[in-house]
Every structure is written in C-alpha cells, then in structure tokens.
Amino acid sequence: MADKVLLVKFGEIAMRGDNQYLFVNRLIQAIRRNLDPVGNYYVVREPGRLIVEDRGGEMDYDLVIPRVEPIFGLVALCPGLRLQEMSMDAIKEEALRHMQEMYGAKPMTFKVNARRSNKGFAVSSMELAADVGEYLLDHMPNLTVNVKTPDVVLNIEVRNRIYLYSKVIKTYGGLPYGSSGKGVSLLSGGIDSPVATWMMAKRGVEVEGVYFHSPPYTSEWAKQKVIDLAKRIADFTGEFKLYVVPFTDLQLYLLENVPHDKLTIHLKRAMMRAAEQIAVKDGAMSLITGESVGQVASQTMQGIYAINAVCHMPVLRPLAGMDKQEIINIGTKIGTYDISIRPYEDCCTIFVAKHPQIKPRLNVIEKIERKLTDLDKYLEEAVANAEVIEL
Ligand code: ATP
Ligand code: MG
C-alpha cells in the first residue's frame, strides 16, 4: 500500500548550515500559503526533502503542482508514492505497480536509482537498486536496462519512510522569498524592470514596486499594465506592494528648467531619489532597476554613473550584463513579457528628447540641479501623494 505524495526538493539552502532550519520553515510557510486555500494539505519534513500529503483524499497533482512550482528556493517537484511499510516486498510490489500504471506495456529502457539515508533499513542502496531492477525485468517484458541514457529513472528513497518516483519537474531554484532583506524596485510597464524584479525576488529579496505615473502624459492603460505586472510577480512572491507615485508636476518642472537633451538623466535621478525615500521609510536596503549596460542612451556607463550618484543605497541591476533577447526569454518564461508588450497609447512625447545626451557629465548635471530650488518640494509632494496598492 502506498499514498500519493509530492516530494519537494530544495537546493542551495541545503548547504547553509544553521540557517537551514529557518529557510526550510519559510519554504513550508510558502507551500502552506499556496495550498491552504484549495484543500487539506500537510507538509512533512524529511531530512533534505519536504513531503506534501493530501489529508482530504487522493492527491490531485494538476491542482497542487502549479501552486507549488513558483515558490523560490525549490529545485524540483516529484509526484510519487510514500509506502506504508518499510520492507523490500513492499518496495518491489509498489515499484511494479507504479511502472505499469505510468508506462504500461510499451517498450522502453530504464534504470533504478536508490538512496538510503535511513541506515536502519537493512538493504544497501546498491542491493536495493539491483533487486528492484531485477524484479521489474522479471515482471515487465517491455523493459530493458540502460544505465547511461534510460527513458525512465525509477527513484527509490529510503528515509524515515520509503518513497518512489520517476518524474522530476524542475523548478526555479533561488532562495526562499524574504530571506535576503528588502529592496524597492523601480517598476515601469516595460519589458526589463519586471524581469529584474523577479530575478531579485528569486534571490530571496523581498521586493516592493514603485511606478512613476504622469497623467495625462501616461495613460490609465499604462498604469493598469504595471498593476498587472505586479500581480504576475505576486504569483511568485505571494504578495506585492506597489507604490504609484504621481510625477506629472515634477516632470513638467524639469521640462521647463533643464536642457532638453539632459531631461532623461534628471528625471531618472529624481526617480531614484523618490524610490530611495520610500525604501528608507519601508526599511529596505537596496534599489532595483531594469537597466542593462548600453541598451539605451541613458544606460551608457556615463549615464548610469550620473543617475547612480544620487543614491546612498546599493542599486541592484540584475540585467546589467544581459542582452535584450536574454531578458525577453526570461520575461516569456515567467509570464511578464506578454503583459509588457501590450500596446497602449500615451498621448504625448514631449518628455522624449530627439537627441538625448549620451555621455552626460556628472558635474554639469549637478550644477544644473543646484539651481532647481523647488525640486525637493516636488519630490516630497510626489512621495507623500503616492497611491499604495497591495496585491
Ligand atoms: P523597462 O523595460 O524596465 O521600462 P527601459 O528599457 O525602458 O526599461 P529606461 O527607460 O532607461 O529603460 O529605464 C531604466 C529603468 O528605470 C527601468 O528598467 C526601471 O527600473 C526604471 N524606470 C523607468 N521608467 C520608470 C517609471 N515610469 N516608473 C518606475 N521605474 C521606471
Ligand atoms: Mg521603459
């Protein structure tokens, strides 16, 4: 006899000594949070594994797997069986039933992989694999052994209980969400920043979004797009706080008071400063952007230098060294790309210079900014009037 369970493998964190306990707790919480709304599930610890069992009946993998898959820190999910007995006979019987149910009578190659971390079980891994392999060969004429490139690997794990599985679904890896401090992400409706936000979340950084909105120059559609992107990120993180900062007045002030070819740099500096104010308020220790070196005029080394100079916090730029296509590939995989490329109409391009300065000089930019006596006031107002959306 055996029960259907989901074996959950976690990676990197397994090596992290004392922290492991905390990290595993976070993973358990995340699994519970995603599964509690849909049934009566229970997460059991095994050394090096988490086992999800369904106490409400037979597990429905189509329901459970999509809800566990997005959790950061997990490396693989294996739908499998947990045996009710600790015996060789039980293993053989269930292994045979599993192979017949899953693969029927079609000709195929296989091998058995056994791991025994429970040394109280008398049979060694090697013997176990050999015995079960032989038993399967005797009972399933469609099988042949192939150790190097088998069609199917039947895994047997002897832990506190015995588990069998032959299907391994790779997940995203990374670190448990929230285990690496907090960062405020400058989230536009573009392709890049949602990917950057996701990448840092994957490294365990608790992320919040800040979107600078300039109605009527940027449309409600643009804002809705950012909200939809934030929702998509929340599918991975569980929750997401988005600040929508009204930037129209500040942007018009800059438009009037700085040379047009430097407008973008001044605007980006203002965005960084506003984001940092929010970060300080919320106890974050980093900013995150979707900048990629050389991608556009404001992302030359000189541009990044001039923008970065206003920041006191580290600015994380996970896309700095990536090509556009690499970024698009990730965006596609995580489901942000389709939202990002949704067309929408912005009614005006007065803020876009025809020939933006490609190599701004910091001292020139700072000199201009020293004359912008109202800039701080506009910044303060913008941050104070931010709309907070909890997703
Ligand atoms: P993206 O694809 O993320 O929009 P981009 O290729 O359009 O980036 P830029 O316009 O130079 O590049 O923006 C660089 C970064 O500045 C963005 O990745 C984002 O982090 C931030 N940013 C730009 N505009 C906004 C905005 N309106 N609100 C919030 N952040 C912004
Ligand atoms: Mg953009």
Ligand nearest to the CA of 356: 1
- Please give the number of the atom of ligand 1 that sits closest to the Cα of 299: 11
Closest to 313 (Cα-Cα) out of 345, 341, 275: 275
Closest to 202 (Cα-Cα) out of 172, 232, 230: 172
Ligand nearest to the CA of 287: 1
Atom 20 in ligand 1: residue holding the nearest Cα: 289
C-alpha 390/C-alpha 21 separation (Å) is 29
Q: What is the reported pLDDT for 57? A: 87
| 211 within ligand 1 shell (Cβ under 6 A) | yes
C-alpha 182/C-alpha 171 separation (Å) is 23
- Please give the number of the atom of ligand 1 that sits closest to the Cα of 189: 4
Mean pLDDT of successive 10-residue segments in the chain (391 residues)? 94 67 90 94 92 93 96 96 95 95 92 94 93 96 95 96 97 92 96 97 97 92 96 95 97 95 95 98 98 85 95 98 97 97 72 85 95 96 97 92
Q: What is the reported pLDDT for 353? A: 81
177, 237 in Cβ contact below 8 A? yes
DSSP character for 113? E
- What's the half-sphere exposure (Cβ side, CA atoms, 13 Å) at 319? 27
Q: Hey, is 81 helix, strand or coil?
A: strand
| 208 within ligand 1 shell (Cβ under 6 A) | no
166, 315 in Cβ contact below 8 A? no
Task: Report the separation in Å between the CA atom of 291 and the middle of ligand 1, taken as the mean of its atom positions.
Answer: 7
360, 262 in Cβ contact below 8 A? yes
Widest Cα–Cα separation across the chain: 87
| 68 within ligand 1 shell (Cβ under 6 A) | no
| 298 within ligand 1 shell (Cβ under 6 A) | yes
- Please give the number of the atom of ligand 1 that sits closest to the Cα of 186: 30
Question: What is the distance, to the nearest Å, from the Cα of residue 86 to the centroid of all Cα atoms in its chain?
Answer: 38
Helix/strand/coil (H, E, C) string of 299-334? HCHHHHHHHHCCCCCCEECCCCCCCHHHHHHHHHHH
Task: Report the separation in Å between the CA atom of 25 and the middle of ligand 2, taken as the mean of its atom positions.
Answer: 37
Task: Report the separation in Å between the CA atom of 139 and the middle of ligand 1, taken as the mean of its atom positions.
Answer: 61
pTM: 0.90
| 217 within ligand 1 shell (Cβ under 6 A) | no
Q: What is the reported pLDDT for 188? A: 94
- Please give the number of the atom of ligand 1 that sits closest to the Cα of 268: 16
Q: What are the tokens at 87? A: 């015996």
- CA torsion, points 215, 343, 330, 334, in degrees to nearest 10? 80
Ligand nearest to the CA of 340: 1
Task: Report the separation in Å between the CA atom of 291 and the middle of ligand 2, taken as the mean of its atom positions.
Answer: 9
Residues 6 or more apart whose Cβ sits within 8 Å of residue 21: none
- Please give the number of the atom of ligand 1 that sits closest to the Cα of 191: 2
| 340 within ligand 1 shell (Cβ under 6 A) | no
Ligand nearest to the CA of 292: 1
| 264 within ligand 1 shell (Cβ under 6 A) | no
Task: Report the separation in Å between the CA atom of 188 and the middle of ligand 2, taken as the mean of its atom positions.
Answer: 6
Q: Hey, is 212 helix, strand or coil?
A: strand
Task: Report the separation in Å between the CA atom of 186 and the middle of ligand 1, taken as the mean of its atom positions.
Answer: 7
Closest to 386 (Cα-Cα) out of 285, 182, 242, 289: 242
Pairs from 214-218 (Cβ < 8 Å, separation ≥ 24):
214/246, 214/247, 214/248, 214/251, 214/351, 215/246, 215/248, 216/248, 216/347, 216/348, 217/248, 217/251, 217/346, 217/347, 217/348, 217/350, 217/351, 218/346
| 356 within ligand 1 shell (Cβ under 6 A) | no
| 287 within ligand 1 shell (Cβ under 6 A) | no
Q: What are the tokens at 17? A: 């000594």
Question: What is the distance, to the nearest Å, from the Cα of residue 84 to the centroid of all Cα atoms in its chain?
Answer: 35
| 99 within ligand 1 shell (Cβ under 6 A) | no
Atom 7 in ligand 1: residue holding the nearest Cα: 190
